[in-house]
Amino acid sequence: MESLVVPVLILLAVVAGVTVAYRAGRKRKAAHPSTPAQPAATSHELARAAADRLSEEEHRRLYALIAQGQAMAAIKLYYEITGEGLRASRDAVGALAAHPQPYRRHEPPQSVQEDDDDEPQRFPYRYRAIASKGDVTREVSSNMLNDEIYGRIRTLARSGDTEAAANALTRHSDISLTQAREFIALLDD
């Protein structure tokens, strides 16, 4: 029996040490919670984003360096152009080398067109808008309406500009102005 006391004491000491180490690790993790990692962009997505940051001349110069095998010069050029960190520049150049991207001309953002255009856009589906108040229900179905346009019409109606809302609804559907006013009156809460 005495011969078992020493191994049991050693076993208890080891269990106590493991327990203390485990608790210390949990406390350290609780003190420094890790931020949830953002999913890393794929190499192809990174290459596309990197290419979009380059002008046509910069794109040509960068790919010339990559084609000549001058990776360090390409990283330096990308770093100077974009101002990103060295690691981000290295990753971007590596992605551009692995997934060559054609130069895409940057088109200026199109200005939001007002609803004053002559012919509204026609969609391949019919949009149904329903408004009701009490026992009265009105429905407008049109292939010139969508969520965005209907949302603007509702915003106009709720802001008190019911005439502009009725005109916009008439322009984007095949109903009369009187019918549009009746419909808008049901939206005005």
Q: What is the pLDDT of residues 26-43, one digit of tens each?
A: 877 776 655 444 445 688
The tokens for 189 are 């809460």
Per-residue model confidence (pLDDT) at position 87: 92
Per-residue model confidence (pLDDT) at position 1: 65
Per-residue model confidence (pLDDT) at position 26: 80
Question: Quick one: which of 73, 97, 75, 70 has its CA closest to 86?
Answer: 75
Per-residue model confidence (pLDDT) at position 123: 79
Does the predicted TM-score (pTM) go above 0.75? Answer: no
Per-residue pLDDT of the chain (189 residues; tens, 9 = 90+): 677 888 888 888 888 888 888 888 887 777 665 544 444 568 888 988 999 999 989 989 988 998 899 999 999 999 999 888 899 999 999 999 999 888 887 665 554 444 445 677 887 888 888 888 888 888 888 888 888 888 888 888 888 888 988 898 898 888 888 988 888 888 765
